[in-house]
Amino acid sequence: MIIKRIPAGVYAANCYILIDESTKECAVIDPGGDAEDLISFIDSMDAKVKFILLTHGHADHTGAVGELIEKYRVSAYIHSMDKKFIEDGEFMFGPLKYKGAVVELNSDMDKDKVFKLGDRQISCIETPGHTLGGVCFLIENNLFTGDTLFLRSIGRTDLRGGNFDTLIDSIKNKLLLLDDNIIVYPGHGPQTSIRYERENNPFI
């Protein structure tokens, strides 16, 4: 599997493009902006976008969703709690429109939701704390954590739906129970691993 990290948007949030080499099926995680750059890479790989996955609803992780939906005619998946914040126009959430058209988000995503990319499965892990609808995505030994867990840090909890104790509980009781060798791909900054964060993250 190909994993391409492209920092996108004004906050350089990490967008991850996952491509199954045998089928060319592609998943896009957190397209936060710079849609032309994302589309250029996808098309250069002759990849077939199957779906867009959102770890949470903040604008720096959703900014290019409209352009990608228009280009590839696929669904974008988000947790129902964060979808509601976007629909309500909550500060830092969204956007929900592109060129005047409403961007359709699918909230059919919970702890039991599994997405298929080629022969691989992408499972959803609910990790509230940064937002009420924060989730992580696990595919094989690769974990995409959005703004839940960073290299030696964690997501902020001072925005609507954020809660420090809830975030720490999500990390300790869901993510740190995973295998040591799992690679962590965060929403900002460089990658890390479950083992490294268990041993070195000062917040946990």
For 10-33, the pLDDT digits (tens) are 999 999 999 999 999 999 999 999
Tens digit of each residue's pLDDT (9 = 90 or more) over 52-77: 999 999 999 999 999 999 999 999 99
Cα(152)–Cα(23) distance, integer angstroms: 36
User: Is the pLDDT confidence value at 111 over 80?
Assistant: no
What's the alpha-carbon Rg for the chain, to the nearest Å?
16
Give the global pTM: 0.96
Separation CA 128–CA 44 (nearest Å): 35
CA dihedral 97, 155, 38, 70 (to 10 degrees): -20
Longest dimension (CA), the chain: 48
Architecture field, domain 2-200: 4-Layer Sandwich (3.60)
Tell me if 141 sits within 8 A of 122, measured CB to CB.
no
Q: Return the pLDDT at 190.
A: 98
Contact at 8 Å (CB) between 159 and 60? no
> What mean pLDDT, rounded, does the chain reach?
96
What average pLDDT does range 83-93 have in this prediction?
A: 95
pLDDT band at 108 (very low <50, low <70, confident <90, very high): confident
